[in-house]
């Protein structure tokens, strides 16, 4: 199988490039191609003749998106449409990475794939509008919604917590936002399986279980053997430019439909910490 990965230098892209064996895989970073350039995107796809395209390239700075609305929509929505149109012309299947931020966070039970989109941030809106447009261009594309991704090769929550914990006696972490931490390696392996199974439609992919950011940080510090105190605070106390969903746990029902099960986030964290130490 011939595969193209757009966003190959990101956390997920790096994991995909490491984990994807047995197929012909070509990775393109933002330095190689800006997905806002429809001509360049089309040229690459015509040259590579992929059967599958995984689109992980995105503007993911959630707070940055609030201050750079045009950039957020031009990359996350319009850039994604460029890739979808080129995929359609080339007869390639597309897997697009989306986010739990397409939801408003008002539910108290895990979000299913057919729950209504109601994004509260510019980042969430750019992803939600991309989903709608892609399903119009390529009705049989696969949209993978994930959340709280962490991994080697870039900035992520556990890395930030460990760096702060090394120099501070105590950390204040938000305890009223709940979601599903997701290890880039486990997400990559699930994506590989979805492509090989010819997945279509929306699929939710996160590690099993859920927690608050405070609970996640406490487990990171404890698992790393650090003595730093982790203190719970409210979202209001830690005001950020972009609103976050208070509850964005994603249901695994759609993923189980493809016979794929994810390890727990605690198990994933242990493996990430071992990888980081190595």
pLDDT digits (tens, 9 = 90+) for 172-190: 999 999 999 999 999 999 9
pLDDT value of residue 23: 98
Domains and CATH numbers, the chain: 2-155+180-209+249-263 (3.40.50.720)
Q: What DSSP character marks residue 76? A: I
Pairing of strands 93-99, 142-146: parallel
Low-confidence ranges of the chain (pLDDT < 50): none
pLDDT value of residue 272: 98
Q: How many Cβ atoms sit within 10 Å of the Cβ of residue 135?
A: 16
pLDDT value of residue 145: 99
pLDDT value of residue 155: 94
Of 111, 123, 247, 272, catalytic: 123
> Is 111 one of the catalytic residues?
no
Residue 212 is encoded by which pair of tokens? Answer: 């608050």
pLDDT value of residue 88: 98
pLDDT value of residue 184: 98
pLDDT value of residue 24: 98
């Amino acid at each position: 199988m011939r595969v193209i990965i757009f966003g190959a230098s990101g956390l997920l892209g790096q994991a995909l490039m490491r984990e994807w064996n047995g197929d012909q895989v070509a990775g393109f970073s933002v330095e190689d191609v800006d997905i806002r350039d429809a001509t360049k995107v089309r040229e690459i796809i015509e040259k590579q003749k992929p059967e599958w395209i995984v689109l992980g390239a995105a503007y993911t700075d959630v707070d940055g998106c609030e201050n750079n609305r045009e950039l957020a929509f031009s990359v996350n929505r319009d850039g994604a449409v460029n890739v979808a149109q080129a995929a359609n012309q080339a007869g390639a299947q597309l897997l697009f990475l989306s986010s739990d931020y397409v939801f408003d966070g008002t539910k108290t039970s895990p979000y299913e794939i057919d729950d209504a989109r109601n994004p509260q941030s510019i980042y969430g809106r750019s992803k939600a509008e991309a989903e709608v447009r892609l399903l119009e261009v390529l009705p049989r594309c696969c949209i993978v919604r994930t959340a709280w991704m962490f991994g080697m090769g870039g900035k992520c929550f556990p890395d930030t917590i460990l760096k702060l914990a090394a120099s501070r006696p105590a950390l204040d972490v938000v305890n009223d936002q709940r979601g599903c931490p997701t290890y880039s390696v486990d997400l990559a392996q699930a994506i590989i399986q979805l492509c090989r199974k010819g997945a279509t439609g929306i699929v939710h992919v996160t590690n099993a279980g859920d927690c608050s950011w405070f609970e996640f940080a406490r487990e990171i510090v404890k698992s790393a053997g650090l003595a730093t105190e982790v203190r719970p605070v409210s979202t209001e106390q830690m005001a950020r430019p972009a609103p976050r969903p208070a509850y964005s746990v994603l249901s695994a029902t759609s993923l189980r439909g493809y016979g794929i099960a994810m390890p727990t986030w605690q198990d994933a964290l242990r493996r990430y910490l071992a990888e980081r130490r190595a």
